[in-house]
């Protein structure tokens, strides 16, 4: 799908791409991406992809970006977060912020490229804060 024009992306019957396809920002009302559903407090809820939107992309190797669309009328409300899930998420984030070398909360997620907090990775750097 490289070198797409606006007309190439318009396939409302799904004859060419297998599912209804629209140019970026030209999808009909009643269809939304996952992000758009989430902004409305909804989720796809197991429904199949109803259509797709396509646009050209200079960065992607395939030359096009595809966004899958779901029917808004079939979407379900987002499940509320339970206290157990909130506690598990807080524990996971604390683990990502805790330096395995000095065992302190760095206040940010430890970069996987370093594996430790910045002061432990660069102890001799003048801008590195000293921990006591």
Question: Is residue 64 one of the residues assigned to a domain?
Answer: yes
Is residue 115 scored above 90 in pLDDT?
Answer: yes
Number of domains comprising the chain:
2
- Whole domain around residue 115: which residue ranges? 83-121
Contact (Cβ atoms closer than 8 angstroms) between residue 69 and residue 37: no
My answer on whether 41 and 73 are in the same domain is: yes
Question: Is residue 3 one of the residues assigned to a domain?
Answer: no
Q: Quick one: average pLDDT of 35-59?
A: 91
My answer on whether 96 and 55 are in the same domain is: no
My answer on whether 93 and 117 are in the same domain is: yes
Helix (H/G/I), strand (E/B), else coil: 123 = coil
Residue 29 and residue 61: Cα distance in Å, rounded? 30
pTM over 0.75: no
Residues 118-129 pLDDT 10s: 999 998 877 666
Question: Which pLDDT band, with edges at 50, 70 and 90, does 61 fall under?
Answer: low
Q: What is the dihedral of CA 121, 123, 127, 132, to 10 degrees?
A: 110
My answer on whether 88 and 105 are in the same domain is: yes
My answer on whether 71 and 88 are in the same domain is: no
Question: Is residue 8 one of the residues assigned to a domain?
Answer: no
């Amino acid at each position: 799908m490289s070198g797409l024009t606006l007309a190439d992306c318009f396939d409302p019957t799904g004859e060419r791409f297998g599912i209804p396809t629209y140019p970026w920002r030209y999808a009909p009302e009643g269809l939304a991406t996952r992000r758009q559903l989430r902004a409305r407090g909804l989720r796809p809820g197991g429904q199949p992809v109803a259509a797709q939107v396509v646009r050209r992309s200079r960065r992607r190797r395939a030359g096009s970006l595809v966004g899958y669309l779901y029917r808004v009328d079939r979407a379900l409300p987002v499940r509320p977060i339970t206290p157990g899930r909130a506690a598990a998420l807080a524990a996971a984030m604390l683990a990502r912020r805790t330096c395995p070398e000095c065992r302190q909360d760095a206040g940010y997620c430890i970069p996987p490229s370093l594996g430790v907090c910045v002061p432990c990775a660069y102890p001799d750097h003048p801008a590195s804060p000293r921990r006591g």
